[in-house]
Structure 1
Amino acid sequence: MQFFAIEFAAASGVDLGLGISCEILRKLVDLGEPLSAHDFYHDHLIARGIEPDSNIVNSMVICLAKLGKLDDAVKLFDRLIGSEDCVLSNAACTMILEGFYEQDKFLEAFDYFVRISDANVKLGMWIYNVLINGLCHQGYVGEAIQVFDIMCKNTGLPPTLHMFKTLFFGLCKKGWLVEAELVFEEMEVQGFFVDKVMYTSLMNAHGKNKKMKMAMRVYFRMLKKGCDPDICTYNTLIHGFLKMGLFDKAWVLWNLMSDLGIQPNEVTYNLMICYYCKQGKLDCATMLLNSMVPCNLAPCVHSYTPIIAALYKQNRCLEVDEMCERMLESGIIPDHVLFFVLMKNEPKGLELQLCLLMLQAIAKNGCGLDHSSLSNFDKINSSAGLEQEIELILREITRIDLNLCNVAGSIYVSALCEGGKTEAALACFKNVASAGCIPLIFTFNSLIKRLFQDGHFEDVKSLFEIMQNEGIVPNLETYLIMVKEYCKQEDLASAFGILDQMKEMGPKPNVAIYDCIIACLSKQRRISEAETVFHRMHRDGLDHDEVAYMTMIKAYTRNGRGDKALNLFEKMIENAIQPSSYSYTALLSGLVKRKIRLKKCWERVLFQIMYYTLLLPIIF
């Protein structure tokens, strides 16, 4: 009917007027005819020089958004919201925000949400829910809190359980634990039940910050509220104590959960095995591994990998072969982490042979394909021959299982990168992606490192864009690789850029990243800036370890500041970090090399050496 009226008016030369035109436009949009509304707007309003009012602009914002022309809708909306006689419709505001949501542009949505809220437009609860969820998912927790506060103020309605949980988990992930606990308490005030997943998440967040007293406080609060811990809760606490080196407390929790009838699972065993391996107590780690099967627990590749790495560290290479054989014969599927351990410890040049062995095991144990006849490498006397066999197995794995294809492809890319075969690595990467796999972060890291080493910095940027498009978040290893490479080139501006990016988006930088930057600043004799970065570590919630102290101490000695080096050395000891022989050697050699002959310096160094190497063992 609307179309006939428009056609009749046009044929008769009747001027519909602004009011009628506005009503027709609105009706076309309401009837789900955005294309007709778009044509009417241009033919009967713009072409006639009619200046659209707020009602028309609101209708056209909805129309353009429905047609998928969000940029054009936003331009009109900006003109509307910026005018003095601004009258925003609820529907137009909702369509703008919904358009941003569909494109995962939650930060842009937040900016418009604030402007809409300032204009006192009432929005539906789902708008708040989706925006809070999207912002938290993308790491913009501060903005999500603002949306939460605006919602409470504008609607007067209590937050939903989903909102509380979304905010809580976002805050825990970000490490904003004070705010997380406030949400926690507000939930209880509102009468919501705080479940064991939330308690465990808060314990985990405290454990990551090595605040195990706080984690245990949450644990006791959980018990007091009548919420029963499960195996995940105890594994979280055990992991936290192990990270701090408090092995006795971890065993207390192990025994406690056994007393409560909660049996340790594969994760519990793997945590303890990993810790024993870090301490070099391989007999204890192996004993735990052997005790898993009698407890009806099947060891996995993560059970064997730390033991194999520790065996390499103790130069027990024959036992590595035995352990690998035992693992593969039991039907365990190897992964990229195990391959990385093997590749880093075996002689250079064997990357493709190791890769072939890993892919054979994946094909056999994961896909039921036996390629063991290819194990005789004497028959394959060239790199090209090895690549051909690997690609043959990779194609068969791809045909059967895409998840295993991803792991196998990652191993192959890493082997090629380590061997300097960049073009072949990129080709494999593309093939795996085209098969429908989203490459592992390990794959990206291998390629980023190789491209940096080859000087292909633009390709690194392209790879980063691919990661973002696939929704893959860089991890600490990604950033460490980049910072190391920038520091090697003495490009500190780019290294600091990475640090700022991490501060904004996460994850939190670790000690190794700061060490690289401090060492590079020291090399450039920018000692005051090195001091600033060293202190920034502490402000960012990182505890200085022995490596961090020694990096800064070396910076002082390199720049002829022996007194400051000694002061920091003593500060390290005050903070309960007992120096190793390496630290003493590094300090002494630094003082000698820089010809620092201050009598007081040497007296203090000799006293420290005598105290910690001779007197302290006698006292205790």
Structure 2
Amino acid sequence: MSMPVRGKGKRDHRFDNVDHALILFNNLIEKYPKSSIEEFNKLLGAIVKMKHYAIVVSKYRQIELLGVSHNVYSMNILINCFCQLGRIDFGFSVLGKMLKLGVEPDVVTFSTLINGLCNQSKISEAVCMFDEMTEKGYQPNLIVYSTVLKGLSKTGNTDRAVRFLRLMESRGYEPNIVAYSTVIDCLCKNGLLQEALNLLSEMKVKGIRPDIITYNCLIHGMCNLGQQEEATRLLNKMVDNNISLDIVTYTILIDALCKEGRISKAVETVDMMRKQGIEPNVVTYNTLVDSHCKEGMISEAEDIVDAMIKRGIEPNNVTYNTLVNGHCLQNEMDKARRVFNLMIEKGCAPNIVTYNTMINGYCKGKRLDEAMELVHEISQKEPILNIVTYSTLLQSMFQLGRVSTACELFRKMLASGQVPDIVTCLILLDGLCKTGHIEEALKLFQAMRNGGLEPDIVPYTILIDGFCKAGHIEVAKELFHQLSDSGLKPDVYTYCIMINGLCKEGLSDEAYRLFGNMGDNDCLPNSCCYNVMIRGFLRNSYASKATQLLTEMVGKGFSADIFTATLFMDLIIYSNKSVLL
């Protein structure tokens, strides 16, 4: 299709692609007398529509060198190009240049910048620019209002979105179906279904007829809240109002049914779609494949994939990744690998999600060497190992006792520029403690604090457990007492570990004092705490105290576990009398 560029009083210039447009541009710059900015704007505006933004920016620089003066239209084109290229900062530089050259910005200038800010999710700045625009006497049009409204809704600012809707009304701009649907979608996504339904009623009163998009937003909101019956009623209303259901509506319903575990009903809905003349797309099929895989019905999932291929719909990365994950969940790694190889054969390149799924499957099956082969494969291809890959491998290495390999991998991770998150650090900390490398664990803990990863109760508990098991009870006690200094409270698991550690060191009295003080931190003993304390008394020959605490525990509704019961049985046998009498 050729694109026209109309010149003043001259025939239309037409071009089919950007190369033809650039030939026309060269003709303009060689023209004598010099071409006007209007002529350049018409040509470059057409190139903008072809989305060659960087080319337009470079050509305007060329125009400036020729001494052709900008006008507001050319400046607006430049601002739009910078915004489309994700350089909103350069867009504001152009605004500054406009003011410096005495070119008065217009409503398009501000609306373009507002749209650029919204596209980068800088909603607060967009609202500030909107306010500044109105303060300077510029009247925003419906496009500007809709842009800000969409930005507020997209970022989940429901209260501000509703207030902005009211602001539109107060300034004489009656919201249209798009504006209402945008806010209804935002309310639904934030679980505010009743407010969304109130807005639906309001628009109906105003004579604005809901369209398929409005209804899809509401149905999605209802399904997300598990209100399947309400969603069905709304569907019936749509049919009564002669609004045809589309692929989106059906896919939302199928997804909700799958999430509820009603897979057979979801399959029936697909059949219903076809009867209505709507063919399922790859998203619909992927939803079905995913639900079958999660239920362990891999064979049925593969049948669905075969059916979609027969209907001319090619599986995508999501389809293959879902099948790979399904096999991995069943520990069918050889079958997962076959699917992995198949997607490569079909020209569907595995992404980092595919690799991570396979690596996780191999690691869970204790097939670390095969996982590492995949890591080597990734290093020779485009996907880059991410924090999930490293965390999965580290956990597997520690579980298999390959501590030095894990530490080496961690160093490689740091060298690659990957910044460990709290999950990675906890895996490393736990692995070092469980393999007896307690000093290295303490160094890591200090490095976490120094690096800005402020530890919560979990890393403290891991370290306390490590030091208790290593017989360093004094260090464990010191860490326990540091909790309050760090503004943390021990949880029931931390108490249980500390009590057990004290008992193993023969400090039953101190352990019991700690047990008794749990309530001071709003933490009541659970079954585990009682059992640990009772076993501590028994091991340290405090049979009477153990019996009293057992009675207390039973009164609280807890019971002795197998280890506590065994110790009591041993005591009865060896003492030749019941301690319970």
1:11 alignment partner in structure 2: none
2:112 aligns to what SS in structure 1? helix
2:381 alignment partner in structure 1: 428
2:146 aligns to what SS in structure 1? helix
Q: Which has the higher contact order (CA 8 A, sep 6+)?
A: 1
Distance 1:187 1:325, change over 3 A: same
Deviation at 1:489, TM superposition (A): 4.0
Is this contact kept in 2: 1:351–1:415, CA < 8 A? no
| 1:87-119, Cα deviation, whole Å (9 max, x unpaired) | xxx99x9999899758744358669979999xx
Correspondence for 1:293 among 274, 296, 299: 274
Deviation at 1:170, TM superposition (A): 0.9
Is this contact kept in 2: 1:132–1:148, CA < 8 A? yes
Deviation at 1:252, TM superposition (A): 1.5
2:289 alignment partner in structure 1: 308
1:225 alignment partner in structure 2: 206
Alignment of 1:122-161 (within 5 A): 123-154=105-136, 156-161=137-142
Structure 1 portions without partners, runs of 5+: 1-30, 33-64, 70-89, 360-389, 395-404, 430-442, 465-480, 501-515, 534-550, 570-586, 608-620
Is this contact kept in 2: 1:278–1:310, CA < 8 A? yes
2:333 aligns to what SS in structure 1? coil
| 1:128-154, Cα deviation, whole Å (9 max, x unpaired) | 223212111111111111111122222
1:186 alignment partner in structure 2: 167
Alignment of 1:171-570 (within 5 A): 171-346=152-327, 347-358=332-343, 390=345, 393-394=346-347, 419-420=371-372, 421-429=374-382, 447=386, 449-450=388-389, 453=393, 454-455=409-410, 456-457=412-413, 461=417, 484-489=423-428, 523=462
Deviation at 1:178, TM superposition (A): 1.7
| 1:472-508, Cα deviation, whole Å (9 max, x unpaired) | xxxxxxxxx96643543468999999999xxxxxxxx
Deviation at 1:311, TM superposition (A): 3.1
- How far apart, CA to CA, are the structure 1 residues paired with 2:127 and 2:289? 46
Q: TM-score, normalised by structure 1?
A: 0.52
| 1:280-338, Cα deviation, whole Å (9 max, x unpaired) | 22222222222222121212333333433333444444433433333333333112222
- How far apart, CA to CA, are the structure 2 residues paired with 1:240 and 1:492? 43
- How far apart, CA to CA, are the structure 2 residues paired with 1:568 and 1:145? 49
Distance 1:282 1:605, change over 3 A: farther
Distance 1:214 1:553, change over 3 A: farther
**Sequence identity (%):** 20
- How far apart, CA to CA, are the structure 2 residues paired with 1:276 and 1:529? 50
2:14 alignment partner in structure 1: none
Distance 1:357 1:99, change over 3 A: closer
Is this contact kept in 1: 2:152–2:160, CA < 8 A? yes
Is this contact kept in 1: 2:259–2:291, CA < 8 A? yes
| 1:37-92, Cα deviation, whole Å (9 max, x unpaired) | xxxxxxxxxxxxxxxxxxxxxxxxxxxx95899xxxxxxxxxxxxxxxxxxxx99x
- How far apart, CA to CA, are the structure 2 residues paired with 1:206 and 1:495? 39
Is this contact kept in 2: 1:343–1:354, CA < 8 A? yes
1:165 alignment partner in structure 2: 146
1:292 aligns to what SS in structure 2? helix
1:546 alignment partner in structure 2: none
2:381 aligns to what SS in structure 1? helix
Amino acid at match of 1:324: V
Is this contact kept in 2: 1:270–1:303, CA < 8 A? yes
- How far apart, CA to CA, are the structure 1 residues paired with 2:528 and 2:352? 42
Is this contact kept in 2: 1:336–1:410, CA < 8 A? no
Is this contact kept in 1: 2:255–2:287, CA < 8 A? yes
Is this contact kept in 1: 2:80–2:113, CA < 8 A? no
Q: Does 1:106 align with 2:88?
A: yes
Deviation at 1:169, TM superposition (A): 0.9
2:9 alignment partner in structure 1: none
- How far apart, CA to CA, are the structure 2 residues paired with 1:592 and 1:68? 83
Deviation at 1:593, TM superposition (A): 5.9
- How far apart, CA to CA, are the structure 2 residues paired with 1:256 and 1:295? 17
Distance 1:299 1:101, change over 3 A: closer
2:264 aligns to what SS in structure 1? helix
1:291 aligns to what SS in structure 2? helix
Structure 2 portions without partners, runs of 5+: 1-33, 36-59, 65-71, 361-370, 394-408, 430-443, 464-479, 499-514, 536-548, 560-581
| 1:559-605, Cα deviation, whole Å (9 max, x unpaired) | 87976999899xxxxxxxxxxxxxxxxx7557756879798887676
2:242 aligns to what SS in structure 1? coil
- How far apart, CA to CA, are the structure 2 residues paired with 1:336 and 1:115? 46
1:182 aligns to what SS in structure 2? helix
Of 346-355 and 163-172, deviating more is: 346-355
Larger Rg: 1 or 2?
Answer: 2
Distance 1:488 1:106, change over 3 A: farther
1:72 alignment partner in structure 2: none
Is this contact kept in 2: 1:416–1:424, CA < 8 A? no
